[in-house]
Every structure is written in C-alpha cells, then in structure tokens.
Structure 1
Amino acid sequence: MPQPLFRGVLTALVTPFRDGAVDEAAFRSLVKRQIERGVHGLVPVGTTGETATLSHAEHKRVVELCIEEAAGRVPVIAGCGSNATAEAIDLMRHAKAVGAHGALVVTPYYNRPSQEGLYRHYAALNDAVELPILVYNVPSRTAGDISNETLARLAKLPNIVGVKDATGDLARASLMRLMCGEDFVMLSGDDPTALGYIAHGGHGCISVTSNVMPGSCAKMVEAALAGDFAGALVWQDKLIRLHKALFLDASPSPTKFALAKLGLCGEEVRLPLVPCADAVKPAILDALHAAGIEVPLS
C-alpha cells in the first residue's frame, strides 16, 4: 500500500511579528530550521499561526513565504479555514495557485452548523477546488465536533483525504480508521497523545512542540511509525513536559516565549492574545531543560 503524502511530523508554524507586522525574515528562518531538522511537512496559518488576527493579505503572504522557502522539499498544507464557506474557498484557491500541496480546513466556528451543514461545507470545498483537504476537528476551540459518521461520508469525496484530530480521544481514532478506511489520512493535532494516536493507526502529528524541537519530535514519530514503540517512548518521556508547558498560557504565547529564548523570533503576539505570563515561564524553562535544551533559567 502506498504511503500517504501527509505523514510524520508536520509543524503548525507560528507567525512571528515585529512591531506589529509579520516578521518575514524570522519566518523564513523558522521554515529553514524546520526542514533542516527533519520535519516531514509544514502547516502555515493555522491556529498556532494566529490566523484569526491576520488580514487576508497577510494570511496569503505567509502561505507564499512558506512555499517559497520550502521549495518543494516538504509538503506545505495551508490553513484555509473559515466559518464562511465562500471565504474558505477563496483561501483554498489562493493556496492552490501558489503551489500548496493541501489545505487544512477547520470545522466552522461560532455559527455551530449541524452535521449536515458540516458535510455540505466540506463538500462545497471539495467541488470548488481540486486540492487535498484535511478536516481539522478541534471542538475545544470551535464549539462544534464533526462526527466519525460525517467524516466517513466525506472520506468518499475525492479531495477529502484526511483529518487533523485534536480531540485527544484515542478510542475515536480506532473507530475512525475502521469507518473511513485505511487510505484516510489520520493526523493527531494533540502532541501529548500523538504517540498513542499512532498506535491506534494514525499517520503522524500536526505538532506545536516541533516549532521548538523539530528534530526530537520527528524522531519520536518516525520511531512510532516504524513500530519501535519502546524507542518512541524514550522520546515521549523527554518531550511530554514541554508538550504540556506550551499550553500553560494561551497558545502560541508560550511557544513564542520558548522560541525567543532560543533566539529564533520575538515573543510578540496580537491582541486579544498577550505575551506569555511571567508566572508560567519557569515551568516552560524547566520543560526545555528536561527536553535537553540548554537555555538561561531567567
């Protein structure tokens, strides 16, 4: 059976800012570092990329920058989500035009569509743009949950190729695999449970932690996908504190704090997010040390 195009660790990239604008140089450097450290794909302008606060022009520019810098070395899955179907189609058309390999489309938020509404939303995207689509299910953020039954319907459409599952529900993963078929790409969107997700038949992880430790995350997932779960567990034990620490404050503020400590970008985020709270910084630094990164403790 051929391996899926989207497999392994795909980094949900942060969007660096400087003085209120996208820091294009820092972003290019982050993309270069990710590829050099062995990640298997890149996901710009998702939740971690603060897409909710980007203008449409900024959103599209970040996608273009990622594709330019990656230069075909790894797949780029562009965030194209919206709670307006027409807007998602526009973002997908741009992503296809500039060379993205796929689109990550979050379940529509705020307006809380029914399961039939969710099906029709993704079916409209499937029909409008010939680009592989990953359904992004993150009920904690969207106030909606796409069911396995709806995913099984969508899996029959030619451009709906898989899911980013950020529910943390491992039993759901096994049932999804049985309902959607072996060819349906299943990527965890939850770093702490990614190892278990792969054991349930998943193909990898769209990771936040790999912004900070791309090489270690890649090695953990590669070991798990190869069936070396003992080896993967060694990496998991090194990373688990960092997985948790990067969500001690509103994401991606902790991740940008960690990247700033590594000298890779600034801590700047956009309102309504604020920089990482001082109260949680010691725990993040401790987690970095536990993962093997030597950074100043203050």
Structure 2
Amino acid sequence: MFTGNIVALITPMNKKGKICLDSLKNIINYHIYNKTSAIISVGTTGESATLTKKEHIKLVLLTLKLAKNKIPIIAGTGANSTEEAIILTRKFEKSGISACLSVTPYYNKPSQKGLYQHFKKISENTSIPQILYNVPSRTGCDLLPKTVYKLSKLKNIIGIKEASGDLSRVNQIKSLVDKNFIILSGDDATALDFMQLGGDGVISVTSNIAAKEVSQICKLALNKNFCQARKINKKLVKLNKILFLESNPIPIKWAAKKIGLIKNSTLRLPMIQPQKKLKKIILKELYKKKLEIMKKKYNHFILF
C-alpha cells in the first residue's frame, strides 16, 4: 500500500479558483487505471498552503469518496504549529484515510529535539499511521537520520518521505530503523537511484501526468530489475527536470491541463501561471514523446 508509485496529487480548480469536481474525478480514475499505489491528497503539491482548513478537509474527504476504496488515500496534514497539525490529523480519524503525510514545521526552524517532540505529540493524538516528510529546501529545517530513528520507535510512525536530495540518507536511515519502516523518495529525478539503494518507492509529482511509466519503474525496481527500469526512466529524465524549472506545482498543473487531465491550470496566488518560455519547453517535451490521449468511459488517459 505504501510502497511503489504514490502520487502527490495536484488540486484541480475551476477558473474562479474553486475545486473542480469533474477534473478531480478524472485524475483519480486516471491513477486507478494506471495502477498508482496510493494518492496523497492535499500535500504541498496539492496547494495545501493556499487552501483554507475547511477546504483542505473537504477535499481530502471528497477524494476519499471518489476513490471508492479502489486506491488508498493519504491525507496531507502537516503544519508549522503542532496543535494545528494535531487538529487537522484528528479530523480524519475513522474516515477511512489510510495514512497521513506530515511535513516538518516550516519557517520555525526547530531543533532536532523540537522536531522529535512535534511528531511525537502528533503520534500520541491519533491512531492513523503517520509518514514523516523531510524537505529542507522548502521548510528551512532538516530531519536527521538519528531523529528519524527515534521517531520510528513510536507505534504509528511508519515511514518517511525523504526529499533532502542527499541519496546517502537511504543507507543512513536503513541502517538505523526496523526493516518494516518505509523509506520513500520525494524527488522524481533521483527516485530510481533511491530505490536501487534500498528505498521503497517514490511520492511523485511527475506521476500526475506519467502514472503508467512511474508505476512501471517502481514495480521493476522493487523486483530488482534495474536494467529495464532504467530504460523506462530514461524517457522521463528531461520531463522530471522540466517540471521543476519553476516552483511546484506550477509546471505540472499546466502540463496536466494541456494533455486534458484537468480542465484548467488555475493556481491561487502567490502562485501564477508558467512563463511563456517554460510553456514552450513543456509542450516541446510532451510532443516529443508523441503524446496520445485515449478516451475511456471516465474521460482521458495519457499514454507515452
């Protein structure tokens, strides 16, 4: 359930910036069809920072309802206030959510002891499995392996999304934690290398528009077929880079709109649409792959 290709789902919006139900249904069905392992609803790629708490909760529960138990849903519940994170997490108790993804507190720059106490207190206030999320480039703090080890001893902290960009973290964490602790990459560009070093999968942005390929790469890598996985991964190398030329989720949302997965690429301020130059780069890469749209009863699917 928590290994392989887990998508960090974008939040589709209409032109007025409200949640677009039709597009949300479409992208959920797209991931069910392409055998994505699980969906992260309202993570940072899902624009959690610009949704109200009411919208955040509503969107997670709506995603859960639309998924109809066909794919596990993981709720993004991180906050830079421990109490806020606890309140948000407890909203999903007994909802059917499979786990929560909790990012390290941003801006506050807590110490390792502060990080431990933050996640410990969340853990003590919920029965939902918790996945830690370490992304220093966007939070200003780094959850170090020794702290991850201490947290892994808590009953419902089951894994980590490691997005520090340091591949040596895989072995550092693995050497400390129990074998059942899940270690997921948070970086599409290095995800295959991460898995070859012993990681369990990826929480992917690219999977929003290339779910089939990312799922295949993960399946092959977890079965130790790295040669075949690299052949598929090679097709995505440039796309992985392009999708981060501007802040996520700006490029991925625009690309998803261009291939028909969502109706609009609307973002909420302070996020704005990609620059014209980037739009051209994205289009060139999509057309280079001879993009095809295949219509099914639940709308569009992308096949490379």
TM-score past 0.5 threshold? yes
Provide the residue aligned with 1:13 in structure 2: 9
Provide the residue aligned with 2:81 in structure 1: 84
Contact 1:288 1:294 in 2 (8 A): no
Q: Does 1:144 align with 2:147?
A: no
TM-score, length-scaled by structure 1: 0.95
Distance in 2 between residues matched to 1:189 and 1:73, nearest whole Å: 24
- Whose relative contact order is higher, 1 or 2, with alpha carbons under 8 Å and at least 6 apart? 2
- Match of 1:96, SS? coil
Provide the residue aligned with 1:68 in structure 2: 65
Could you list the runs of 4 or more consecutive aligned residues of structure 1 that deviate by over 3 angstroms after TM superposition?
289-292
Cα offset, 1:289, TM superposition: 3.4
Cα offset, 1:120, TM superposition: 0.4
Provide the residue aligned with 2:275 in structure 1: 277
- Match of 2:176, SS? helix
- Write the deviation string for residues 147-185 of structure 1: whole angstroms up to 9, x where unpaired: 000000000001110000111211111111111121110
Cα offset, 1:288, TM superposition: 2.0
Q: Does 1:160 align with 2:131?
A: no
Provide the residue aligned with 1:57 in structure 2: 54
Q: Does 1:29 align with 2:29?
A: no
Kindly provide the amino acid, as one letter, of the partner of residue 234 in structure 1.
K
- Match of 2:7, SS? strand
- Write the deviation string for residues 33-56 of structure 1: whole angstroms up to 9, x where unpaired: 111111010001011100000001
Provide the residue aligned with 1:289 in structure 2: 287
Provide the residue aligned with 1:124 in structure 2: 121
The structure 2 residue matched to 1:93, chosen from 90, 94, 106, is: 90
Q: CA RMSD in A?
A: 1.2
Distance in 1 between residues matched to 2:43 and 2:56, nearest whole Å: 10
* Matching of residues 200-215 of structure 1 within 5 Å: 200-215=197-212
Distance in 2 between residues matched to 1:267 and 1:92, nearest whole Å: 28
Kindly provide the amino acid, as one letter, of the partner of residue 283 in structure 2.
L
Cα offset, 1:96, TM superposition: 2.5
Provide the residue aligned with 1:112 in structure 2: 109
- Match of 2:175, SS? helix
Distance in 2 between residues matched to 1:87 and 1:73, nearest whole Å: 30
Unmatched 5+ residue regions in structure 1?
none
Greater shift after overlay, 129-138 or 68-77?
Answer: 68-77
**Percent identity among equivalent residues?**
40
Distance in 2 between residues matched to 1:290 and 1:245, nearest whole Å: 13
Distance in 2 between residues matched to 1:294 and 1:36, nearest whole Å: 16
Unmatched 5+ residue regions in structure 2?
294-304
- Match of 2:93, SS? helix
Kindly provide the amino acid, as one letter, of the partner of residue 274 in structure 2.
C
Q: Does 1:134 align with 2:131?
A: yes
- Match of 1:77, SS? strand
Distance in 1 between residues matched to 2:269 and 2:140, nearest whole Å: 21
Distance in 2 between residues matched to 1:119 and 1:102, nearest whole Å: 19
- Write the deviation string for residues 57-116 of structure 1: whole angstroms up to 9, x where unpaired: 110111011111222222211000001111111111112232110000000001111100
Contact 1:239 1:291 in 2 (8 A): no
TM-score, length-scaled by structure 2: 0.93
Distance in 2 between residues matched to 1:286 and 1:91, nearest whole Å: 41
The size of the alignment, in residue pairs, is: 291
- Match of 1:172, SS? helix
Provide the residue aligned with 1:255 in structure 2: 252
Provide the residue aligned with 1:233 in structure 2: 230
Cα offset, 1:290, TM superposition: 4.3
